[in-house]
Amino acid sequence: MTPEFTEREQAFRGEARDWLRANSPGRLASMDTPAGAAAHREWERTLAAGRWSVVAWPAEYGGRDATLTEWVLFEEEYYTCGAPTRIAQNGISLLAPVIFEHGTAEQRQRYLPSMADGTDVWAQAWSEPEAGSDLAGIRSRADRDDERGGWILNGQKTWSSRAAVADHGFGLFRTDPAAERHRGLTYFLFPLATPGITVRPIVQLDGDPGFAEIFFDDVFVPDAGVVGDPGAGWKIAMSTAGNERGLSLRSPGRFCAAADRLIALWRERGAEAPHLRDRVVDAWIRAQAYRLYTWETVAKVEQGWSVGAHGSVNKLFWSELDVDLHETALELLGVDQELRGGWVDDYLFALAGPIYAGTNQIQRNIVAERILGLPR
């Protein structure tokens, strides 16, 4: 079904559609290669110049004060027209909400405009070799340096997406080893060029260095690089975990566009593989369900509902849909399914979904305990 939109919303959607069609360069080289990263940054600059890079932000930071409804409309148009993946995504979706909510005025001024126009790309530095699903097991630490007015970071982060090409990182470090493990963590922002930081790119399944290890060896970060209060890092970080799992990282436009491409592929190839009919239909149904679920969520959020643990329901659904949809497309390609190119590349990207932002095992625990109320 098509939701009902106000005139303002329809005008917004029309303007976004026209601009995107006129300006989108289409698919670019992988953002995890040097040339691809440069092209993606250029696209972020173009988006920002048109004031389309951060539509939901306030106008003073380059946004359009878009409502949640308008943001989802923008995303639908964005993916429908096949615009590039967003190299600025992790900063815009995961860090910016934290800076808006918990940051100082100075931090907002310093970091948000350069994030909005792609000048500064941000990488999330959360996971560690011994702190994956059990994120509160973070060992990397920050020790107080009163003399210089800041903190000394030591330790190692890993699986940090975009770190190989990014300018800044944001992450959690243990500042109070004596405190209960969720309470002794602090949220830091730091330039990756800071002395003592070493970034070692890690090649992903697709052959590109999409994430990296980050080593910290006596890295000084001034107090201006701390978000919120020292010791409040976990609580602050969990407010971005909701963003990561819920609406903001995976808008429905993405899956509807992929489902439409799958239907187009079925038109071409379906006669040779009639046994795939049910899987094609089901992928389309699930994309449609995701779209309607999102609009229902938008309606509820606009009435004051909080997504909370339902972000985990959402993440389970889209991450599995993404893999299944692409596997169905690959089957339709027959013997050509092993060849690199659009569907295989997107499939390799989709395979990460059930792992990042909290593995799907962890999401199932969250759904069972916090939504169904099963005993811990």
Binding site for other proteins (CB under 8 A): 1, 3-4, 263, 266-267, 270, 277-278, 280-282, 284-286, 288-290, 292-293, 295-296, 299-300, 303, 310, 313, 316-317, 361, 363-365, 367-369, 371-376
Q: Least distance (Å) from other proteins to the CB of residue 8?
A: 17
Closest CA to 240 of 193, 190, 191, 170: 170
CB of 68 to other proteins, least distance (A): 13
Helix, strand, or coil here: 195? coil
Of the pair 202, 289, the CB lying nearest other proteins is at 289
CA angle 128/35/116 to nearest 5° reads: 65
The Cα–Cα gap between 4 and 125 comes to 40
Cβ neighbors of 192 (< 8 A, separation 6 or more) are: 123, 163, 166, 167, 168, 169, 199, 214
Rounded to a whole number of angstroms, the minimum distance from the CB of residue 326 to other proteins is 18
3-class secondary-structure state, position 193: coil
Least separation in angstroms between CB 363 and other proteins: 8
Pick the closer one to other proteins by CB: 177 or 305.
Answer: 305
* Cα–Cα distance measured from residue 170 to residue 239, given in angstroms and rounded to the nearest whole number: 14
CB of 242 to other proteins, least distance (A): 16
Evaluate whether 211 touches 30 at the Cβ level (below 8 Å).
no
For residues 204 and 202, give the distance between their C-alpha atoms in angstroms, rounded to a whole number.
Answer: 6
The residue length of the chain stands at: 376
**Residue number with CB closer to other proteins (204 or 297):** 297
As a whole number of angstroms, the distance between CA 307 and CA 313 comes to 10
Q: Which of 132, 141, 121 is nearest to 210 (CA)?
A: 121
Beta carbon of residue 240, minimum distance to other proteins (angstroms, whole number): 22
The least distance separating other proteins from the CB of residue 308, rounded to whole angstroms, comes to: 14
CB nearer to other proteins: pick between 41 and 279: 279
How do 141-145 and 226-227 pair as beta strands? unpaired
254 membership: H or E segment, kind and range: helix 252-269
CA 241 – CA 358 distance, rounded (Å): 8
Gap between the Cα atoms of 292 and 281, Å rounded = 17
Look up 244 and say whether it is catalytic: yes
Residue closer to other proteins, measured from CB, 138 or 316: 316
Half-sphere exposure of 156 (CA within 13 A, CB side): 10
Catalytic annotation, pick one of 147, 244, 331, 369 = 244
Active site residues: 244
